[in-house]
Amino acid sequence: MPGADYVITDADVWTGSGGWATAVAVQGDRIVAVTADDDEVRTWIRPGTEVIPQPGRLVLPAFQDAHIHAPFAGRNRLNVFLNELSGRAEYLTAVADHARSRPDAEWIIGGGWAMEHFPGGNPCKEDLDDVVPDRPVFLMNRDIHGAWVNSRALELAGIDAHTPDPADGLIVRDPDGSPTGTLHEGAAYRFESEVVPHPTQADWEAAIREAQTYLHSLGITAWQDAWVTPATQAAYTSLAASGRLTARVVGALWWDRHRGLDQIPEFLPRRESGTGGTFSPTTVKIMTDGVVESHTAALSEPYCDGCGGTTDNRGLTYVDRELLAAAVTQLDAHGFQVHLHAIGDRAVANALDAVAAARTANGPNDLRHHIAHLQLIRPEDIARFEQLGVVANCQSYWAQSEPQMDELTIPFLGRDRSDRQYPFADLRSAGTVLAGGSDWSVTTADPLQEIEVMVNRVDPHHRDNPPFLPEQRVPLAAAVAAFTSGTAYVNHDEHQSGVLTVGRRADLTVLDRNIFTEPVTRISDARVVATFAAGQPVFGG
């Protein structure tokens, strides 16, 4: 019997399949032993086998992310990355510093600002004008549903008091109609696609590699990219063909909400030509509504006005109910998995209805359609997930008390609806498969922080806060499974990854401590010390 390439010993090994071990042996890209038997471990050690003792450390299946925007996050990291900053002053300092360091850049681009730091969630162009008066600035916000621009950018775009709002978006205005510098939804997306210079393929490849390096440092070896355009697909395909994409990525091809069923034939050749190596564009992503903070998430009942009254606004439906059902039915018939963005309870109901229509038309299958975000779900819709085989794609980090929740969400949902947010425990109790996703760079990509919130419903940076709807907490083992086997299941990779058993691909994460024996309030204090993808060290090691 040939020896292992390396053996990790003396560790706490959480297999994810119900048992514990102390050692893992790897040969090539495969796990050849997972055991607590020292004699078995020794049989795999030969001259040339690397023995890696990890006393006091935890080995577990590598983390996976079911909903992420890696190219856009990587691009911001290479430009203006505001996600790790807090407040208007820090944002403006970062923008000024970046502009100063790039005197030849025609545009200043980036993102990651949070709405909570500005009155009503809307920053103004004058602040950017003060630090970059001579060049256009375009900064997407943290949730990728709005943008902050300066006067020069508005001038180049030809946006003024007479410019109409797009049907699917909003130009925030002063009382005289002049644009303030904040663009929401379709107004932001149209600006980015029609005004901001497009990155080259080399730019996108650099952005993906930047993101990949960072994600590997967090123990992540696989993800589903929730917004794949032809340009980012070309970059992914090139990286996979050259072996530079060390992560395994399922690409969700972006559904253009301004078009209809005519775009479906275009997805077929993209799937065929783009699949290869570690990249598979086998999913289609449909954004069905917006977000609560800008009152664009689709609700069953109208928004409150924030002052105890109600409005007549029930949010936006970007793809109407009938078209959504037809789209999911046709995509399902072509063998595409569908990844649906749905935040409001009306959007979630429409998404479930669309999957039900596909089941009626096409019969059962194993495509594993999934709905992401799930901020509000009608109680009667909880059981439908399991009944329809729909996976709950959970952004667990959002299920906490923080300023955006307290100031921009709860007053406009009202108490009854606010008490139904992010019902992860209810979904799990109903038999729904949970998959963990970050929506990075909207919020942190760190699975340990996301797991801590899923378990405690408390911000890891403010652990003295009261838990947010604690009845929806998820046990630690189930939370870890969401970010390992749950996402492997969504990506149709559960027979290759997600648990540590003999024959699986050697995707491993090593933490500096055993989070199962530490207090659950301290999960994210752990640090990743090594990450292995397909048997190869991609971080630490």
Kindly indicate the confidence band of residue 95, based on its pLDDT and cuts at 50, 70 and 90.
very high
Across all residues in the chain, what is the average pLDDT?
Answer: 96
Kindly indicate the confidence band of residue 2, based on its pLDDT and cuts at 50, 70 and 90.
confident
Q: Which two tokens stand for residue 364?
A: 């059962």
- The confidence score (pLDDT) of residue 144 equals 81
pLDDT surpasses 70 at 1: no
- The confidence score (pLDDT) of residue 18 equals 85
pLDDT surpasses 80 at 541: no
Instruction: Determine the Cα–Cα distance for residues 504 and 382; give it in Å rounded to an integer.
Output: 33
The whole-number average pLDDT for the span 508-520 is 98
What angle, 0 to 180 degrees and rounded to 10, lies between the N-to-C axes of helices 264-274 and 321-333?
A: 40
The whole-number average pLDDT for the span 388-413 is 95
pLDDT surpasses 80 at 42: yes
The whole-number average pLDDT for the span 505-520 is 98
Q: What is the pLDDT of residues 128-170, one digit of tens each?
A: 999 999 999 999 998 888 999 999 999 999 999 999 999 888 9
Q: 532: closest CA among 62, 6, 37, 40?
A: 62
Residues 33/23, Cβ–Cβ less than 8 Å: yes
Instruction: Determine the Cα–Cα distance for residues 538 and 531; give it in Å rounded to an integer.
Output: 6
The whole-number average pLDDT for the span 113-123 is 91
In CATH, the architecture of 71-194 is: Roll (3.10)
pLDDT surpasses 90 at 483: yes
What are the start and end residues of each CATH 2.30.40.10 domain in the chain?
6-62+503-540
Instruction: Determine the Cα–Cα distance for residues 175 and 173; give it in Å rounded to an integer.
Output: 7
Q: 56: closest CA among 527, 532, 455?
A: 527
| Structural fold of domain 255-275+282-490 | TIM Barrel (3.20.20)
169 pairs with which residues across the strands?
Answer: 185
The whole-number average pLDDT for the span 112-136 is 94
Q: What is the pLDDT of residues 297-344, one digit of tens each?
A: 999 999 999 988 999 999 999 999 999 999 999 999 999 999 999 999
Kindly indicate the confidence band of residue 405, based on its pLDDT and cuts at 50, 70 and 90.
very high
Phi, psi of 323 (to 5 degrees): -65, -40
Options 3.40.30.10, 3.20.20.150, 3.40.50.300, 2.30.40.10; CATH of 6-62+503-540 = 2.30.40.10
What are the start and end residues of each CATH 3.10.310.70 domain in the chain?
71-194
- The confidence score (pLDDT) of residue 120 equals 87
Q: What is the pLDDT of residues 164-207, one digit of tens each?
A: 999 888 999 999 999 999 999 899 999 999 999 999 999 999 99
What are the start and end residues of each CATH 3.20.20.140 domain in the chain?
255-275+282-490
DSSP 8-class letter at 164: P
Phi, psi of 25 (to 5 degrees): -110, 140
DSSP 8-class letter at 458: S
The whole-number average pLDDT for the span 210-235 is 98
Q: Which two tokens stand for residue 380?
A: 């009667």
DSSP notation for 184-223:
EEHHHHHHHHHTSPPPPHHHHHHHHHHHHHHHHHTTEEEE
pLDDT surpasses 90 at 403: no
Instruction: Determine the Cα–Cα distance for residues 525 and 311; give it in Å rounded to an integer.
Output: 43
**Residues 6 or more apart whose Cβ sits within 8 Å of residue 454:** 394, 396, 399, 424, 436, 473, 474, 479, 482
Instruction: Determine the Cα–Cα distance for residues 459 and 453; give it in Å rounded to an integer.
Output: 6
Q: What is the pLDDT of residues 262-304, one digit of tens each?
A: 999 999 999 999 999 999 999 999 999 999 998 999 999 999 9
